[in-house]
Structure 1
Amino acid sequence: MSETPADQAEDTTSTLIQSRLRRLFDAQDEDRPPYTEAEVARELTARGHPITDAGIRNLLRAPRINPKASTLRALASFFQVPVGYLLGEDEPDLASREARVLARSFERLTPRSRRNLARVINNFLELEEAAKAARDSGSDTTQPGA
C-alpha cells in the first residue's frame, strides 16, 4: 500500500518535530549535560502535564508521532521556545537560546540569590553604558569641527 500525500505530510511533520526536540535535548551550556528523557518527563509532570520517560522516548524515536497540542505546549514551555518552533518556524537566534539557559538557571536560584544576581547585572549594564558614553564622547572630540 502506497502512502498518501497526507501520510507523507505526517511523516515530514514527525521528522521535523523530532529533530527540533533532539536539538533542544542536546542544547546545553558549558556546565550542563544534555537533558534526559526521565528529567524532562519529571519536570513536565511536576508542571501539571503528566508524561512518562517512555512517552518522551517515543516522541524522540518513534517512526511516526502525532503529539497532542498540550504536549507540544508543555515541551515548548519547558525549553522556553515558541510552540511554532517545534512545528517548523524559524530557529530561535543564539541570543534567545542564551536567554533561555539563563532563565532556567535563574529559576533555580533562591530569592536572595536572584536579588544579588540582579544587582550584578545592573552593575554590568551601568559599566557598559559608561564605557559606551566614554567612547561616544571621546570619538566626538576627535571628529573634525567638534
Structure 2
Amino acid sequence: MSESHEESPALGSLAERINYLFASIAPEHGDRPEYTGKEVISWLRQRGYELSASHLSELRRGIKTNPTMRVIDGLARFFAVRVGFLHGDPDAVRDVMAEIRLRRALREAQVTDIAARVAGLDPEQRHAVANFITQIVYEQTTGKDGNPPGRSTPDK
C-alpha cells in the first residue's frame, strides 16, 4: 500500500475539519502549536468577515453545524485551503490533508528550495509529491518493512 490511511483522521464533521486546521497549521512566527480563536477572528474581521468568538467556538465544538458560505470562505482563506475541504468534499479533504503534510514537512525541515519548486505544480502533482515525502519520512523512522530500523519482520 503506497498511502498510510491509518494516519489520517476521519474528519467526518465540520467541527473535526476546522479543528484539524487549527491543530495542523501552526502560526508562521513563534513557537505556538496553533492559532488562537482570537487571531482567526481578528484576521477575518479585518477582511470584512463577520464571525464572533462564540460562533467560532460553537463551530469547533460541533454545536453550530451550518455556517454561512461567507464564514466558510473566510476560514478557508485564513488557513489557505480549498473551500471544498470545509464542505467535506472527499477529493478536497484528501488533497488538503496531503498539502498540509507537505507544508508541515517543509516547515519542519526548513527546505524552502523544495517548496519553491513544488509551488508551481498542479494539485494532483503536489499530492503525489506530498505522498512521496511522507513515504520517505515514514521509511526513515520505521524502516522500509514498517519495523523500527534494525528489526526485521518475523517469518510467517
Q: TM-score range by the shorter chain?
A: 0.5 to 0.7
Match of 1:76 in 2: 76
Aligned length: 93
Normalised TM-score (structure 2)? 0.49
Shift of the 21–93 alpha-carbon distance from structure 1 to 2, 3 Å rule, reads closer
Shift of the 101–42 alpha-carbon distance from structure 1 to 2, 3 Å rule, reads farther
Which of residues 10, 15, 26 is equivalent to 1:18?
15
Once the two structures are TM-superposed, the CA of residue 93 in structure 1 deviates from its matched residue by: 4.1
Match of 2:151 in 1: none
Once the two structures are TM-superposed, the CA of residue 54 in structure 1 deviates from its matched residue by: 1.3
Distance in 1 between residues matched to 2:105 and 2:74, nearest whole Å: 17
Distance in 1 between residues matched to 2:97 and 2:58, nearest whole Å: 28
Q: Deviations over 1:92-138 (max 9, x none)?
A: 243x2244998xxxxxxxxxxxxxxxxx849x97xxxxxxxxxxxxx
Which 4+ runs in 1 deviate beyond 6 A? Answer: none
Larger Rg: 1 or 2?
Answer: 1
Distance in 2 between residues matched to 1:100 and 1:17, nearest whole Å: 22
Once the two structures are TM-superposed, the CA of residue 28 in structure 1 deviates from its matched residue by: 3.8
Name the one with the larger helix percent.
1
Note the residue ranges of structure 1 that are not aligned, 5 or more in a row. 1-14, 103-119, 126-146
